């Protein structure tokens, strides 16, 4: 028997759950389908923390960040779960970028100050600095695993139906809706939805119809690591370190993760992978580079204490997100590396696109 529903969200990671929550709280009947079990580690949404990084100069990201902050606060109030820990963010390594971001944040009404390397080192003794350091106090981390639970709880509280272990094996747009064939533990189920939102990360291309104009999405396996602090009670901010390409493979990001150490990682350096055939292990040469970087720049961390983490990035060539609609199909993709902080805002934009034919995301997020 075929099930008919107004809205189906395919993929119930962070972005899919946020979209489901936003649709449900607006009074819509919505079903979310996730192929894996709750809390799985095969995608990009697992783990304890993500950077709540506000060091952007582009207006479309600052606008999205403002909407996200409202969404995180609303979700926290509605579920009783504090989701942001705002211990501040440091951005350094390129004085021109520091100045541009500083000016953009002040123009947008955000708090930001530029410190000298000496001033920053006095405040955060576990780190080294060179050049100007941008400090943004209203940044920090999102409690990622707690956020997933809160999003699901919020969505279900508004009547959403979230189904784990439901893999979409075909998706076909027809005149009467979008037909989905679903494998639920070996049992086939057929669903027809008026509108489908696809938020399937690394699996997006395999789910969407071949004719859908999705740009190239590159899936990589990234391996940041947690490092143990040397001092018992250090003070750690989140951080972005902009590095010269002739010496390092990429820029570095990181944040404190209570109980696990300080997370440090190179941005977008991992090998291209099939998301269904990952090693879940770091590339030895990259792990050695990360160890040497920590030894050079973090006197407050033990460089030999690395506990690697494995996650996938799914990225567009520009590293901008995809937030758009064609026909009855809405797509949210390409978030990896810097998307999690925007989660409730992305859910809001995707819900707008699903419910309003005239809605449009900012131009950099639209399909060609």
Residues 238 and 298 occupy one common structural domain: yes
Q: What is the pLDDT of residue 41?
A: 85
Question: Cα separation of 274 and 294, whole Å?
Answer: 29
CATH of the domain at 263: 3.30.9.10
**Shared domain check, 296 and 241:** yes
pLDDT at 363: 98
Domains in the chain, number: 2
CA separation for the pair 197, 186 (Å, rounded): 24
36 found inside a domain: yes
- Is 70 inside a domain boundary? no
Q: Are residues 308 and 253 in the same domain?
A: yes
* 58/105 Cα distance (integer angstroms): 10
Q: 151, 86 in Cβ contact below 8 A?
A: no
Residue 171 to residue 206: CA distance in whole angstroms: 10
What share of the chain in percent tops pLDDT 70?
100
> Is pLDDT at 29 greater than 80 in this prediction?
yes
CB atoms within 10 A of CB 174: 9
Q: How many CA atoms lie within 13 A of 5 on its CB side?
A: 19
CA 151 – CA 19 distance, rounded (Å): 9
Which residues, at least 6 apart from 272, have a Cβ–Cβ distance to it below 8 Å? 218, 219, 220
- pTM (2 decimals)? 0.96
Distance between CA atoms of residues 75 and 64, nearest Å: 16
pLDDT of residue 43: 84
In degrees and rounded to multiples of 5, residue 74 shows phi and psi of: -65, -45
Neighbours of 108 (CB within 10 A): 16
**pLDDT above 90: percentage of residues in the chain:** 93
Residues 245 and 114 in one domain: yes
Answer whether 143's CB lies under 8 Å from 46's CB. Answer: no
Taking all residues of the chain, what is their mean pLDDT, rounded to a whole number? 96
> CB 357: neighbour CB atoms within 10 A?
8
CB atoms within 10 A of CB 342: 26
Q: What letters, b where the CB count within 10 A reaches 16 and e where it falls short, cover 112-144?
A: bebbeeeebbeebebbbbeebbbbbeebbbbbb
The helix (run of H) or strand (run of E) holding residue 355 is helix 343-355
How many C-beta neighbours within 10 Å does residue 268 have? 17
The reply to whether 309 and 264 lie within a common domain is: yes
Residue 252 sits in the same domain as residue 359: no
When pLDDT is cut at 50, 70 and 90, the band that residue 59 belongs to is very high
Closest of 260, 363, 276 to residue 320, by C-alpha: 363
Q: Is the Cβ–Cβ distance between 32 and 16 less than 8 Å?
A: yes
State pLDDT tens for residues 310-348.
999 999 999 999 999 999 999 999 998 899 999 999 999
State the CATH number of the domain containing residue 41.
3.50.50.60
Q: Give the model's confidence band at 235: pLDDT under 50 very low, under 70 low, under 90 confident, else very high.
A: confident
Q: How confident is the model at residue 234 (pLDDT cuts 50, 70, 90)?
A: confident
Residue 113 domain-assigned?
A: yes
Does 298 lie in the same domain as 229? yes
The 3-state DSSP class for residue 125 equals coil
Distance between start and end Cα atoms, the chain: 38
Range of the domain at 13: 2-46+146-215+318-365
Q: Tell me what the mean pLDDT of segment 195-210 comes to.
A: 97
Across 126-132, average pLDDT: 96
């Amino acid at each position: 028997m075929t099930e008919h529903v107004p809205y189906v969200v395919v993929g119930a990671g962070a972005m899919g759950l946020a979209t489901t929550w936003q649709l449900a709280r607006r009074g819509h009947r919505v079903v979310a389908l996730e192929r894996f079990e709750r809390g799985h580690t095969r995608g990009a949404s697992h783990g304890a923390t993500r950077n709540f990084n506000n060091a952007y100069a582009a207006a479309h990201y600052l606008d999205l960040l403002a909407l996200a902050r409202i969404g995180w606060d609303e979700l926290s109030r509605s579920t009783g779960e504090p989701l942001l820990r705002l211990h501040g963010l440091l951005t350094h390594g390129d004085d021109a970028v520091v100045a541009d971001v500083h000016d953009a944040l002040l123009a947008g009404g955000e708090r930001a100050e530029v410190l000298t390397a000496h001033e920053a080192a006095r405040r955060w003794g576990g780190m080294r600095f060179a050049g100007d350091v941008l400090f943004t106090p209203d940044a920090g981390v999102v409690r990622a695993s707690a956020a997933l639970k809160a999003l699901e709880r919020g969505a279900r509280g508004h009547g959403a139906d979230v189904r784990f272990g439901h893999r979409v094996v075909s998706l076909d747009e027809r005149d009467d809706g979008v037909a989905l064939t679903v494998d639920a533990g070996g049992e086939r189920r057929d669903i027809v939805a008026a509108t489908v939102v696809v938020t399937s990360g690394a699996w997006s291309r395999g789910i969407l119809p071949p004719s859908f104009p999705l740009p190239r999405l590159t899936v990589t396996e990234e391996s940041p690591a947690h490092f143990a602090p040397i001092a018992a009670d250090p003070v750690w901010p989140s951080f972005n370190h902009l590095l010269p390409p002739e010496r390092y493979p990429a820029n570095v990001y990181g944040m404190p993760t209570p109980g696990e150490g300080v997370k440090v990682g190179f941005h977008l350096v991992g090998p291209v992978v099939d998301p269904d055939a990952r090693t879940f292990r770091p590339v030895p040469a990259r792990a050695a580079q990360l160890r040497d970087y920590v030894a050079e720049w973090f006197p407050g961390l033990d460089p030999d204490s690395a506990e690697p983490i494995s996650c996938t990035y799914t990225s567009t060539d520009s590293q901008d997100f995809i937030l758009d609609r064609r026909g009855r199909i809405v797509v949210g993709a390409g978030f990896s590396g810097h998307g999690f902080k925007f989660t409730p805002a992305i859910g809001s934009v995707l819900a707008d696109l699903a419910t309003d034919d005239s809605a449009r995301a900012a131009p950099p997020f639209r399909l060609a």
